[in-house]
Amino acid sequence: MKYLRWCVVLLFLILPLGACTQKEQASGKGKVQIVTTLFPLYDFARVVGGDRVEVSLIIPPGVEPHSFEPKPEDMVRINRAGLFVYTNPYMEPWVAGLIKGIDRKRLTVVDASTGIAFLPAGDHDDDHDVNEGGHHHGGMDPHVWLSIPNARKMVDTIAAALEAKDPTNADFYRKNAAAYGDKLAELDRKFQAGLSSCGTRRFFHGGHYAFGYLADRYGLQYVSAYAISADAEPRPQKLTAMIDQIRSTGTKYIFYEELISPRVAETIARETGATLLKLNGIHNLSRDELHGGATYLSLMEQNLANLRMGLQCR
Ligand SMILES: [Zn+2]
């Protein structure tokens, strides 16, 4: 009774909301509550945590995540969780402010990019505009999850945090992470083999600069219409140069993405006669994809199939 009263008092103070839920967790009633930002983190956390965790996404389906800012109710949800997993400081710069206001003893905040080497934001073979949107401090590319070995590191980081949070189930988390790590390693080998012998190694993308890590991993050259942030318009000179390049190299395919309207990609396709193919940056799924059971693995498989077609691989 005394405990219940305390909880009510704390509820009114709002901040230490989790004090009640954590007590429930310790009593064995609750599962570890995990809140994540982007879909890959959500997918990795549910694979590793299985039935011992409850995972939720704070960025709603279909919302452009680069310009996302959490609302007060999102802050409350994060504060109630046991584990909060974000991608990295370049993807979610708002986390730095969030961390100052929370009780770190109770809520574990996980930077999923721990141990990952960042690449600079922007492609290297042209005068790409970096940091146009102003959301990414330090000019590093936030899209680390699109390199499969990085994804594997992210899975291990999430597993280690879960093991520390819930030591009773540590073995369970470790095994799940290892089994999923094997699947990722197999997918990486499939990409390597599938992209080893292709008509071209350069791909053109009518979207924002999201595939730098993927291109780097498999030795591809990557040209995107937009800069790193999805909310700025591409410069007309950049589009003209891209159209010229596609024409002069006889490129047959151009990629579009899930976040930006395909208008720009369609314009380039119309101008050059190239065919449009989808390349999914797997930031944040649409409601249909989410309900249709799409996973990081299934979406990367689709990306590989489209890349193989676009690059004319044998
Ligand atoms: Zn992006």
pLDDT of residue 23: 46
The continuous run of DSSP H or E covering 253 comes out as strand 253-256
Q: How far is the CA of 172 from the centre of ligand 1 (A)?
A: 32
pLDDT in tens, the chain (314 residues): 444 444 433 444 444 444 444 444 443 457 999 999 999 999 999 999 999 999 999 999 888 899 899 999 999 999 999 999 999 999 999 999 988 878 778 899 999 999 999 999 865 434 344 333 334 445 899 999 999 999 999 999 999 999 999 999 999 999 999 999 999 999 999 999 999 999 999 999 999 999 999 999 999 999 999 887 766 778 888 899 999 999 999 999 999 998 778 888 999 999 999 999 999 999 999 889 989 999 999 999 999 999 999 999 99
Which pLDDT belongs to residue 156?
Answer: 98
- Pairing of β 275-278 and β 253-256: parallel
In CATH terms, 18-187 corresponds, of 3.40.50.1980, 3.20.20.80, 3.30.420.40, 3.40.640.10, to 3.40.50.1980
| Res 12: pLDDT | 40
pLDDT of residue 234: 85
For ligand 1, the distance from its centroid to the CA atom of residue 85, given in whole angstroms, is 17
| 281 alpha carbon – ligand 1 mean position (Å) | 7
Rg (CA), the chain: 21
Q: What is the pTM of this model?
A: 0.86
Q: How far is the CA of 227 from the centre of ligand 1 (A)?
A: 9
Strand 108-111 with 202-205, pairing: unpaired
Instruction: Measure 143 CA to ligand 1 centroid, in angstroms.
Output: 6
Q: Which CATH class is domain 197-310?
A: alpha beta
Cβ 176 vs Cβ 156: under 8 Å:
no
Bridge partners of 33, per DSSP, are 54
Q: Of the candidates 265, 252, 247, 253, which has an alpha carbon nearest to the alpha carbon of residue 207? A: 265
Distance (Å, rounded) from C-alpha 294 to C-alpha 76?
28
**Model pLDDT, residue 166:** 97
Distance 25 CA to ligand 1 centre (A): 35
179 Cβ contact list (under 8 Å, min separation 6)? none
Cα of 309 to ligand 1 centre, how many Å? Answer: 23
Which residues fall inside 5 Å of ion ligand 1, going by CB?
210
The alpha carbon of 60 and the centre of ligand 1 are apart by a number of angstroms equal to: 15
- Give dist(CA 297, CA 232) in Å, integer: 29
What pLDDT does residue 249 have? 93
| Residue 38 CA to its chain's centroid (Å) | 5
Domain boundaries, the chain: 18-187, 197-310
Instruction: Give the integer Cα–Cα distance in Å for 238 and 294.
Output: 34
Same CATH topology for 18-187 and 197-310: the answer is yes
